[in-house]
Amino acid sequence: MRRIFLNEVSLPGHPVTLKDEKAHYLFSVLRCKTGDRLIVTDEKACSYTAQILSASKKEVIIDITGDYRLHTESPLHITLIQGLLKGEKMDFVIQKTTELGVNAIIPVITERSQLRETRKHARWKKIAEEASRQSGRTRIPEISEHYSFMDIFHIPGLISRKGIIFWEEGGEKLSTVTGNLQHTDKIFLFIGPEGGFSEQEVLIAAEKGFAVATLGSRTLRAETASITAVSVIQFALGDLGS
């Protein structure tokens, strides 16, 4: 069944009128018509069945018909702290790590970041929503505005939780690190930009309590490292492959 996200969902018998992007997506992209059924998920990750009462280019009217249970979210809450990447690389990381189940993505400007600012926040949120819809998730990851490297450590709760910083120049084997993190339900993963982290940044993260880990002897592109790290962590501590 086709799926959409809405901020709020009305009770059955109280039709909802969708306009603009939502109406366009249903009518023009998905070719929905009157009588078609949908799965609607709200901002609280609750899902419902719905039926289209009318559909046109300008608006689509739907009515909620009942509850719908989805179990697609990982028990592991992953926050990806991603060094800001150039061009479409950041789009790609947001799309793929959303499919893999991350709960939040925080772009960060590091010493070696080739970008120092961006105006793509709205675009990234849209990419995350589309990837959540495509992968059948009930939650859209929170995409933060970008931070500087040092400001990351002032985020409430960051230091009190488990975290890993990945560094191509050293660190423990990831299997060793994940072995020490069994039964963890919340984790922060710190991935560098093109060129990786500087030694000073790694030392600072280690002092703040992050485990320093390597993804192996081969140097991975930044976007490959992000997807690999999330995949391995989901397999070791989350629900990937279960």
Overall average pLDDT of the 165-173 stretch: 89
**Cβ neighbours of residue 28 closer than 8 Å, sequence gap 6 or more:** 57
- Determine the pLDDT at residue 141: 96
- In the DSSP assignment, the letter for residue 27 is I
Q: Find, among 107, 105, 234, the residue nearest to 181 by Cα.
A: 234
Overall average pLDDT of the 86-101 stretch: 94
The tens digit of pLDDT for each residue in 174-222 reads 888 888 888 888 999 999 999 899 999 999 999 988 999 999 888 899 9
Domain boundaries, the chain: 2-68, 77-237
Res 102 pLDDT > 90: yes
Q: Residue for token digits 């109280």?
A: 14
Three-state DSSP class for residue 19: strand
Which fold is adopted by the domain 77-237? Alpha/beta knot (3.40.1280)
The tens digit of pLDDT for each residue in 59-70 reads 999 999 988 888
Residue 169 banded pLDDT, cuts 50, 70, 90: confident
**Cβ neighbours of residue 134 closer than 8 Å, sequence gap 6 or more:** 99
> Burial level of 108, CB count in 10 A (0-12/13-18/19+)?
buried
Across all residues in the chain, what is the average pLDDT? Answer: 89
- Determine the pLDDT at residue 166: 94
CATH number, span 2-68: 2.40.240.20
**Cβ neighbours of residue 161 closer than 8 Å, sequence gap 6 or more:** 186, 187, 188
The shares of helix, strand and coil residues in the chain, as percent rounded to the nearest 5, are 30, 25, 45
- Determine the pLDDT at residue 212: 95
